Amino acid sequence: MEFSSLLEAFAVYHREPEGSRAYLDAIAYILRSVPPEIKEEFYRIVFSHFPELKPDYYDKEGNPLYDLDHACEFLGLSDEDKERFIEWAQDQQGIFADPERLHKIQ
């Protein structure tokens, strides 16, 4: 799903069912688009609620990145849900890391 603004993404986030493709697309857009201070606060809150969740990598700006298999394991996804999640996650830029691709870039 394409968004033209943060306001539009937040509207979809609040309107769509949790876990739906549109809901997840809105979260991804929001995380890519908010100012760094808000993103830092978001990550601080997430990590305080889920202390066992550790990033697998960090990008150049210090944002946490998660290996797709690690994210699926942490979320406890079934095989069917895992396939759908991976399909969605591969469309997202800057949230999930493909270790093979990272290795090739470095």
- pLDDT tens digits, 42-78: 778 878 888 888 888 887 777 788 887 888 888 888 8
Q: What is the mean pLDDT of the chain?
A: 79
pLDDT tens-digit profile of 11-21? Answer: 998 999 887 88
Long-range Cβ contacts of 53-58 (<8 Å, 24+ apart): 56/97, 56/99, 57/97, 57/99, 57/102
Query: What is the reported pLDDT for 5?
Result: 93
Say if CB 70 and CB 99 are below 8 A apart: no
